[in-house]
Structure 1
Amino acid sequence: YGATIDEVLAWQAAAMASVAEVDLGDDRMQQLAALEAAQRQEVVDRAHELSRLRSGAAIALAEQVTSELHALAMPDASLVVRVTSREDISDLSSHGAADVELLLRPHMGADFRPLTKGASGGELSRIMLALEVVLAGADPVPTFIFDEVDAGIGGRAAVEVGRRLARLARTAQVIVVTHLPQVAAFADQHVVVSKGADGVVTSSSVVVASGRDRVSELVRMLSGLDESEAGAAHAEELLAVAELERASGRS
């Protein structure tokens, strides 16, 4: 308890104070019970307000994401953000007192189903892209990786995918695996991955394409030909469109 009388007396005073805190009287218990009830009610009220705000935001988010999906080769798709309040309001978590679920109707005549049950891999990639484009300013993420985000699309829809990836790349690092020239043209860095064998060992190589090499690679992706004047003109047009998109982001 201490090496001296003063230290022992100090320990005694501290011990008595600790016992006094534990041995509460009826008045103190009533005060704490009232305080707990008031704070619990405040938490419940704030959870209700959070659910109300989420319900309003859910409508706006669903409308904006659905609009993006229409431009990403899902013209009849519709997304719904469902906010469901829990029956037991005391069942609170750090996320509030409601559960949020994303439902997709991929085409007319289909039912709305949870994304985990009603979306293909390519659709999930495009939904993720649409969500991130809409939420880019509100929920910044440092790096995105998209694999096969352009699955099953081409033409104008592929250009729109490339355009949106470029917009997302204004505020984050975006890594995309693609076989479409319309998407590759929008990249700030075009990296070509190829595989070869010398008869004994198969190896992969990674090369950054730039200048005329990049035009040649886009021509190969467009037509499968190493040299084509028409393909080169098309590739240069794609690169010009992509540069305009980047310029609009810098202005």
Structure 2
Amino acid sequence: MLREMSIRDFAIIQEVHLTFDRGFHVLTGETGAGKSILFDALSLVVGGRGSQDFVRHGAKKAEVEALFDISGQPAVHSVLDQLGLSTDGEEHLLIRRDIAQNGKSTCRLNGQIITLAMLKQVGEYLLDIHGQHEHQSLLQVEEHLNWLDAFGGPDLIRQRERYQKAFENVQRVSRELARITADEKEAAQRIDLLSFQKDEIAAARLTPGEDEELAQEHSRLAHAEQIAQHASRAYDVLYGDRQGAELLNQAVGDLEEIVQFDESLQPVLEMVQSAYYQVEEAARQVGRYRDDVEFDPARLSQVEERIHTLDQLKRKYGETVEAIIRHGQEAEKELEQLLNRDERKYDLEQTLTELEATLAEEAEVLTRLRIDAANRLNKRVETELADLNMKGTRFQAAFLGEDESLPYTPAGRDRVEFRIAPNPGEPLRPLVKIASGGELSRIMLALHTIFSDLDGVPTLIFDEVDTGVSGRAAQAIAEKIARLARERQVLCVTHLPQVACMADVHFHIFKESDEEQTRTRVKLLTMEGRTMELARMLGGVEVTDTTKTHALEMLQLAERTKEAIHSR
């Protein structure tokens, strides 16, 4: 549940701090005062897209913080554990989102920096935001199937996943079969190319790491004379005329004589002895190395020729010997498939037949589950609409093309369209062709009421979903939201006094301007303040005694209505 929210330098908001409680909260104010901006800010703290346009003019960054109480929400704790964001038993989450002037954002959860993707995963379990634009999804027939599947529950979702896996298997085998049965001329050309590549790489008899070994050998052969000279000089210094080892041996003898009289020099003696043995061994190894060095022009030519061969292969098949070897193996594998494509084609056709049969079975099961879900959804929506002053309205999630052979798609073989008959005796017609703005608002609220029972998100936010309604329909919407607020925390932006009067908490959003800037302010209203705000909503700019009396009566009636709702 949302407990507190702080906003700084966000759009036209300089600084706002709000405290929330349980129940039904409304936000009202004149058009353009910034009511929906608050919900834009809330969208950010649960992973919404950031933009440089959110940063208030003249500010370096926009800041939004929200404190959530997650006690009694195991789903939130579960997703936090999965993401490695343990709260160590803490029952509160502090989420902060900063948006810089260049549009880049930073996300923090309890002070820890997290990614936007992680924030979205957590946010799905904290807030459920519904705005006017969502009405449009009801008018998009392709979205209706997704609404139905969401209502169908875990069994239907699992079946849809099984179907999708079967669909992907069919697509994969179909693509491979199409590749094998491609133009024969193209296949013959491919065979020639792969045969040449395989034979050329095989003829080279490559060894992993060979290029590095050849490079080292080439360096030794190309500089053999210089190497021999330096090796000879080094040997002479260590063991030849200059007698480096012999001189060290003499030093050892002298130090041994000193140590007989002064043992403090024993460590020095040991160091010189060690040096003598090491120089002697080094001299022997340098001598052997010198004796082995030889200039071999024939071998140098062979090495250079081999390096040239490898360079040519690298330009064709890969940057390393290992990459060339892999290319040869892949060419050989593909060549074998092409040479045996008739046999492979037969096997794929048999496999495809089996997979298509499985796909048909999974699609049939998916359709049956959807039909069952549609029947349940129809009844639930009609019940909810009756509560919203649309009693007698018939609703149907209709399956289209049942008499046709519909193609298989990633979502199944079903096409669903929501249809409605607002008045008794009228035929069901597509929602897009018959529903008014007010009816859409109520249908949307009915669906959100149904789905809120399924998803368990503790806080629901409605941004002017009551657009286009008035009178008794407005009262019905207000009562429906009040009923939702018995079990959930609900925040709602509204222009309707019928909705505003049913709230448990009422915030007034207004603008203040001076010569330099405009600011949005938020004020928690007392009973007197609510009366004045409702009077403004009822009467417009001029507030009269009559409108104030009417507003007070609405508030008193709303209290009685809420008592009746809570007692059910």
TM-score range for the pair, normalised by the shorter chain length? 0.7 to 0.9
Which residue does the alignment assign to 1:145? 463
Unaligned runs of 5+ in 1: none
Aligned pair 1:79/2:280, yes or no? no
Question: Quick one: which amino acid aligns to residue 390 of structure 2?
Answer: M
Instruction: Map residues 175-214 of structure 1 onto 2, 5 A cutoff.
Output: 175-180=492-497, 182-187=498-503, 189-193=505-509, 207-212=522-527, 213-214=529-530
Instruction: Map residues 40-55 of structure 1 onto 2, 5 A cutoff.
Output: 40-55=356-371
CA contact (8 A) 2:474 2:499 kept: yes
Q: What does the per-residue CA deviation read over 1:138-163, in whole Å, with 9 as the maximum and x for residues that have no partner?
A: 46787543344461333xx5443123
CA contact (8 A) 1:132 1:168 kept: no
Alignment partners' CA distance in 2, 1:18 and 1:79: 56
CA contact (8 A) 1:47 1:96 kept: yes
Q: What does the per-residue CA deviation read over 1:189-232, in whole Å, with 9 as the maximum and x for residues that have no partner?
A: 5343568999x9xx896543422322442355467546856753
Deviates more, 1:171-180 or 1:109-118: 171-180
Aligned pair 1:18/2:334, yes or no? yes
Shift in Å, 1:86: 6.6
Which residue does the alignment assign to 1:69? 385
Unaligned runs of 5+ in 2: 1-200, 208-320
Question: Quick one: which amino acid aligns to residue 211 of structure 1?
Answer: T
Question: Cα distance 1:10–1:127, how it changes in 2: closer, same or farther (>3 A)?
Answer: closer
Which residue does the alignment assign to 1:235? 555
Shift in Å, 1:20: 2.0
Question: Cα distance 1:140–1:124, how it changes in 2: closer, same or farther (>3 A)?
Answer: farther
Name the TM-score, length of structure 1 as normaliser.
Answer: 0.75
Alignment partners' CA distance in 1, 2:522 and 2:563: 21
Shift in Å, 1:71: 1.7
Alignment partners' CA distance in 1, 2:433 and 2:456: 27
Shift in Å, 1:30: 1.8
SS at match of 1:38: helix
Shift in Å, 1:79: 1.0
Alignment partners' CA distance in 2, 1:219 and 1:9: 83
Q: Percent identity?
A: 29
Q: CA RMSD in A?
A: 3.9
Alignment partners' CA distance in 1, 2:490 and 2:362: 36
Which residue does the alignment assign to 1:127? 443
Residue 88 of structure 1 is aligned with which of 400, 405, 409?
A: 405
Q: What does the per-residue CA deviation read over 1:90-109, in whole Å, with 9 as the maximum and x for residues that have no partner?
A: x1112211111111111123
Alignment partners' CA distance in 1, 2:391 and 2:490: 28
Question: Quick one: which amino acid aligns to residue 367 of structure 2?
Answer: S
Which residue does the alignment assign to 2:374? 58
CA contact (8 A) 1:215 1:236 kept: no
Shift in Å, 1:239: 4.5
Alignment partners' CA distance in 2, 1:57 and 1:187: 34
Alignment partners' CA distance in 1, 2:391 and 2:326: 78
Question: Cα distance 1:174–1:24, how it changes in 2: closer, same or farther (>3 A)?
Answer: farther
Q: What does the per-residue CA deviation read over 1:104-153, in whole Å, with 9 as the maximum and x for residues that have no partner?
A: 11112322211111111111111111111122234678754334446133
Counting matched residue pairs gives: 241
Q: What does the per-residue CA deviation read over 1:34-72, in whole Å, with 9 as the maximum and x for residues that have no partner?
A: 111111121121111111111121121111111111121
CA contact (8 A) 1:150 1:178 kept: no
SS at match of 1:137: helix
Alignment partners' CA distance in 2, 1:9 and 1:221: 79
Question: Cα distance 1:209–1:132, how it changes in 2: closer, same or farther (>3 A)?
Answer: same
Which residue does the alignment assign to 2:206? 5
Higher relative contact order (CA closer than 8 Å, sequence separation 6+): 2
Question: Quick one: which amino acid aligns to residue 177 of structure 1?
Answer: T
Alignment partners' CA distance in 1, 2:426 and 2:533: 40
Name the TM-score, length of structure 2 as normaliser.
Answer: 0.36
CA contact (8 A) 1:133 1:167 kept: no
CA contact (8 A) 2:474 2:496 kept: no
Which residue does the alignment assign to 1:104? 420
Alignment partners' CA distance in 1, 2:348 and 2:445: 50
Residue 136 of structure 1 is aligned with which of 438, 452, 465?
A: 452
Alignment partners' CA distance in 1, 2:411 and 2:456: 19
CA contact (8 A) 1:102 1:114 kept: yes
Alignment partners' CA distance in 2, 1:10 and 1:197: 71
Larger helix proportion of the pair: 2
